């Protein structure tokens, strides 16, 4: 009798394990900014002209230990915007708010097609042309949050 109970008990144990709910899949990796961002880009937006993009900080920039987007003046009419996140899936500037007159209000997001992002924290610099009417010594907002000057 005991010989029959062992296989039956083992079968019940294994079937009980199979009936456990599965663990839900992990969410897709994102490279969203560390601060809460508005749910959508401004409605009166225009595309940003990215002149150059490279890993790391621009010359003369000091690392901001908050890892929030920041910027430095580049050449007249341009700024270098620095974002932090995955080096293979950087957050990049895509548009600016045309209605903003007090500050350059940029919208930045991950725009790549990579399904796998590295789990590192790296700086990526985007040199952008300033829209007409904005100076390289004004205030810059990224996704609604003030971006500090890094140098």
φ, ψ of residue 6 to 5 degrees: the values are -65, -50
The end-to-end CA distance of the chain, in Å, is 82
pLDDT tens figures, 72-130? 999 999 999 999 999 999 999 999 998 877 899 999 999 887 788 999 999 999 999 99
Boundaries of every domain in the chain: 45-146
Q: What is the pLDDT of residue 7?
A: 53
Q: pTM of this prediction? A: 0.71
Q: What are the angstrom distances between the C-alpha of 16 and each of 23, 74, 100? A: 16, 64, 61
In this prediction, residue 26 carries a pLDDT of 45
């Amino acid at each position: 009798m005991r010989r029959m109970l062992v296989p039956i008990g083992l079968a019940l144990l294994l079937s009980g394990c199979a009936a456990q709910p599965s663990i839900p899949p992990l969410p897709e990796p994102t490279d969203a900014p560390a601060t809460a961002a508005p749910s959508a880009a401004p409605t009166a937006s225009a595309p940003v002209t990215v002149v150059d993009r490279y890993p790391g900080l621009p010359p003369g920039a000091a690392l901001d230990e908050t890892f929030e987007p920041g910027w430095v003046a580049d050449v007249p009419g341009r700024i270098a915007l620095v974002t932090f996140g995955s080096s293979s899936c950087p957050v990049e500037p895509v548009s600016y708010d045309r209605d903003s007159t007090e500050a350059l209000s940029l919208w930045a997001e991950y725009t790549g097609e990579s399904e796998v992002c590295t789990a590192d924290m790296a700086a990526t610099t985007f040199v952008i042309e300033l829209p007409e009417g904005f100076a390289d010594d004004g205030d810059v907002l990224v996704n609604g949050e003030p971006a500090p000057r890094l140098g």
